[in-house]
Amino acid sequence: MLTALLARFLRARGVNAAALKPICSGIRADARALHAAMNGALTLDEINPWHFRAPIAPLLAARREKQRVKLSQALAPIRATQKRFDVVLVEGAGGLLSPLGENFNSRDLVVALRAIPIIVAQNKLGVVNHILLTLEALPENFRSKAKIVLMSPSKPDASTKTNAKLLAEFTGAEIFSLPLLDKKFSASESPQVRRTLRALVEI
């Protein structure tokens, strides 16, 4: 949802931006959301060149279909898109270390692309551990550039109001919070949301 929102935000402001979900398994809803956010600037297959049917880790889903995706294959369409657009957002799948293909994960994509990591998680109990482990898994030079976005859950718990402050004690990363957004991006044009999106993409 955040990737689609960022793409829509950038393009509405005249930035030649693209959003990709290179690999996914199970339903293709994330890729379709990016396609809608870009108003047809890329086809669904350009946005999501590797789609596997089984709702399991992409590595295993690909093997079920007797396919093998290598890092070089995942990078090729991203780099081709970079030649056509000024900003390219790349959405991972399953978390930083979840295997996307043969011997690579989202961390490998971040490093190969020299990307700025944006770590997105629901603002609920357990998110502090989740975020800190993700930051720890990033190489130091990428960890220092990382941005954290806490997305409000549909049912906030006792930790929702305190997680951002607690995370700030343990990390130097920028921490942002977004209110609950539905698939139609309700509340996405609020001043708070616009400020957060602007800060995430630094425009």
Does residue 21 have an active-site annotation? yes
In angstroms, the CA 105 to CA 59 distance is 9
Q: Are 125 and 157 in contact (CB under 8 A)?
A: yes
User: In a 3-state reduction of DSSP, which class is residue 166?
Assistant: helix
Q: Which long-range contacts (CB under 8 A, 24 or more apart) does 79-85 make?
A: 81/18, 81/20, 81/42, 81/46, 84/18, 85/16, 85/17, 85/18
Among candidate residues 21, 161, 165, 184, the one labeled active-site is: 21
- Please give the backbone phi and psi of residue 169, each rounded to the nearest 5 degrees, phi first: -70, -25
DSSP structural state of residue 62: H
Length of the chain equals: 203
Task: List, in sequence order, every residue forming a beta bridge with 25; answer none if it has no partner.
Answer: 52
| Residues involved in catalysis | 21
